[in-house]
Structure 1
């Protein structure tokens, strides 16, 4: 085994263009900024992690710029001179110098797992207990575009057998117009594909009480985070009211949040983003709480690049609690391929990459092309 001592930590910001604009409730993006975190050992092994948020700091308060500053100034000194297999101790010590900043911590957690697994010559999922499956279902997110655009894009995905369920972004339009738009889409896709919605915590209680039943009656099969993240009691009220599952996303960023959801019966599904949760280890803690309570888990996305997506695939394929599919489609939105061999998407699923570490190798020419000057 090579020397596992961490010799250096480096960061790089990329701005990767998207194949089309991706619209959220409050913003839209045409390129996705990524923070690559590189951990190198004295034995010459390199592990990569990825810091990424969905569309900027509006979601959780972090950005690639804040993540880079935190990793370089505060987290790197904790890593240097430590062994990459000391992940538990390292992440515990990081908590002592950096509060919150879970997206930044996730990038380091994944880089450590990648480097350790590569040092051992095994895939990351081995460190997580081993893969019990080799692929996971992928739902395609269609943004907040018009009904015509969305129906056309969904039909293209169905024809290519790439996806069989779709999630629509809501919250950017007048709630009545937005509801009519989504119901129209759900009816157009009825019998062909499942339709879900994500309101990104943008509706208040009264708006949700008025329009969510109409969505459920109109054919929407799942409703994600309709109201503000900290209003657990409102989410519980809506979950009890609606005949379709409610998924908590913004409301669950820590194991304690997951416990709150369980105790209040505030959701039927928890969206686990390895990024928002602070990495693979914290994601496993949240999954354990949900599994013990009989609550389903969904492998959610922050529109990660291939490094973050590969990490989430390893997690989803080694964690039985992820039993409500995934949205690990991020690299398909990118207008350039960052890997030497792309991740494999087919028949509505993404497949577990093979090989040591995350099982992927960056195309350094593409990385150089999109590195921020």
Structure 2
């Protein structure tokens, strides 16, 4: 029997260049910082997890630098000597030492799952209840660039058979100008691709009620998080007013959030992210609440590397509730490969890898090349 006790925890910071700058409403990035957390057992098995946020601490309040500090100084002492399969006990004790910091905890929790599954010789989805599907559709996210630039990129993806749905970032321009830009894009893609928008919580209730119906009229199929995360009542009012689905992201971090959103019918779709929710178990709990409420789930992204993407894919393929596709495009946006065998994207979908744990193996040379000095 493999010794499951944890005898070492290590962290590595990477800066992975992107194929093109990725722009949000108030932030942009040309490289994605990534924190890798390695958990090794006394039996010689190592699991890896990832801490990552989309472009810095503006989204979730954490950065890879703060995650590393929290993991090394506060979480590692709790982990050493514990068994990797003691997930419930470890999660409880980590919560006693560190409040919130869900991104840092997610990196550790995914590494524990990877190590435990590798010790058993099974994929992570086995620990989550088994396979509900073998692949998930992948929506390609486009930035806040002018309409012609966005249309050209989208048509290129369509022509190559890579993606059939696109999400447009909004919030960088004045609302009327932004809506006109998106309507122009939706018109060009009408009948050939699904178009969705993400406001990243930049608008207020009145702005949303004024302008979002215009997007629905233009053929936009879904609106993601128009108002700030805590404003769930406003989100519910918008959801009642629109003829198209509203997706909750910033409003949805914990199972308690999922329950409150369901009670208010504040969102028609839930965006799941292992990163923002503290790991696989909490995210699965959110998906189960959604399923009980009849709310479909979408596999969201924090622009993860292949490690975090593989973790999200394992969850998306294990949860019956993830019927609204995914946005697990992070590795495609990165200009360099980190794995010995890349994740397989084909026919607009990301396919579940074979093998134990997360099903991926890091390329040591690539990790060394992008390690922050």
TM-score class, shorter: over 0.9
Query: 1:364, 1:170 → 2: CA distance?
Result: 37
Q: Indicate whether 1:111 and 2:147 are aligned.
A: no
Separation of aligned partners in 2, 1:25 and 1:99: 29
Runs of 4+ in 1 over 2 A off after TM superposition: none
CA distance in 2, matches of 1:336, 1:86: 35
Query: Aligned runs of 1:54-73 on 2, under 5 Å?
Result: 54-73=54-73
2:25 aligns with: 25
* 1:297-349 alpha-carbon deviations (Å, 9 max, x no partner): 10000000010000000000010011100000100010100000000001110
Partners of 2:295 and 2:126 in 1: how far apart? 25
Distance 2:221 2:159 in 1: 21
* CA–CA distance in structure 2, aligned partners of residues 55 and 254 of structure 1: 22
Secondary structure of the corresponding residue to residue 323 of structure 2: strand
Pairs aligned (count):
373
Partner of 2:215 in structure 1?
215
String of CA shifts for 1:164-188, please: whole Å, max 9, x gaps. 0000000011111100000111110
Query: Equivalent residue for 1:306?
Result: 306
SS in 2 for 1:322: coil
The superposition leaves residues 128-179 of structure 1 with CA deviations (integer Å, 9 ceiling, x where unpaired) of 1111211001100011111111111111111111110000000011111100
Q: Tell me what 1:90 maps to.
A: 90
Q: Does 1:199 align with 2:208?
A: no
In the TM superposition, what is the alpha-carbon distance from 1:296 to its structure 2 partner?
A: 1.1
Q: 1:40 — aligned with what?
A: 40
Partner of 1:225: 225
SS at match of 2:10: strand
* CA distance in structure 1 between the partners assigned to 2:243 and 2:133 by the alignment: 31
Residue 12 of structure 1 corresponds to 12
| Aligned position for 1:76 | 76
C-alpha separation between the residues in 2 aligned to 1:251 and 1:151? 30
Query: SS in structure 2 opposite 1:326?
Result: coil
Q: 1:225-266 CA distances to partner (integer Å, 9 max, x unpaired)?
A: 001111111101000000000000000001111111011110
Q: How does 1:253-264 map to 2 (within 5 A)?
A: 253-264=253-264
SS of 1:353's equivalent in the other structure is coil
Query: 2: distance between equivalents of 1:324 and 1:161?
Result: 19
1:170 aligns with 2:170: yes
State the Cα distance separating 1:281 from its structure 2 match. Answer: 0.3
> Is 2:275 the counterpart of 1:286?
no
Could you tell me which residue of structure 1 aligns to residue 343 of structure 2?
343
Give SS of 2:32's match: strand
Q: Which runs of 5+ in 1 are unaligned?
A: none
1:83 partner SS:
coil
Whole-angstrom distance in 2 between the partners of 1:38 and 1:6: 11
Tell me, in whole angstroms, the C-alpha distance in 2 between the residues paired with 1:84 and 1:201.
Answer: 37
> In the aligned structure 2, how far is the partner of 1:286 from the partner of 1:226?
21
Larger deviation, residues 130-139 vs 215-224: 130-139
Query: In the aligned structure 1, how far is the partner of 2:358 from the partner of 2:285?
Result: 21
Distance (whole Å) between structure 2 residues aligned to residue 225 and residue 216 of structure 1: 15
**Helix, strand or coil for the counterpart of 1:214?**
helix
Normalized against structure 2, the TM-score is what?
A: 0.99
* Aligned-partner Cα distance in 1 for 2:189–2:216: 15
